[in-house]
Amino acid sequence: MKTNKLVLQNALKIYLGIVLFFFLVKLLGLSHIVELRIVNAFFVVMGVNSCIKKNVFENLDNNYLTNLSLGFAAAVLAVLATSFSLIFYTMVFDSSVITFMENSRFWGNNLSLGTVVFALLAEGVASSVICTFIVMQYWKKYKLGTLL
């Protein structure tokens, strides 16, 4: 399987996991619990792991830097898609999201959509790097000779 396809498929998995979880939290009325955002890391780890695992087993490629870059690319693409979805959701459906964030103890006051998106992008890229390095600790030990 081509690596571009692997990245896109797993970025979509991560994106759908985060978006569906966001809507579930909103539907259940739990959006005031900021700590639930940590669950997003679960979706990132699962998507990165799936991407690297498929590259190792289907493409027989266990190069550390290749797998690291594939996992990171999938995670960052999902973060970008999620950020654009937040912009779309806020502008089209619910502009009170920014006001809600201002009233939370986590974000602070005088927020704009741009500030929130920038902060989420920075946080998302940082967590993507961390999650990818964590997953690579597992996959770096596999040698292709032991897989066959």
| DSSP letter for each residue of 112-130 | -HHHHHHHHHHHHHHHHHH
Lowest-confidence segment of 19-23, 65-69, 95-99 by average pLDDT: 95-99
Q: How far apart are CA 88 and CA 74, in angstroms?
A: 21
* pLDDT value of residue 144: 65
> What average pLDDT does range 34-41 have in this prediction?
85
User: How far out from the chain centre does Cα 31 lie?
Assistant: 18
Q: How far apart are CA 18 and CA 24, in angstroms?
A: 10
pLDDT band for position 36 (cuts 50, 70, 90) = confident
Token pair belonging to 110: 């005088």
- pLDDT tens per residue across span 72-116: 999 999 999 999 999 999 888 877 777 766 666 566 667 778 888
Lowest-confidence segment of 28-32, 42-46, 77-81 by average pLDDT: 28-32
Q: Is the predicted pLDDT of residue 145 greater than 70, yes or no? A: no
* pLDDT value of residue 94: 79
Token pair belonging to 88: 């779309």
> What average pLDDT does range 30-47 have in this prediction?
87
pLDDT band for position 148 (cuts 50, 70, 90) = very low
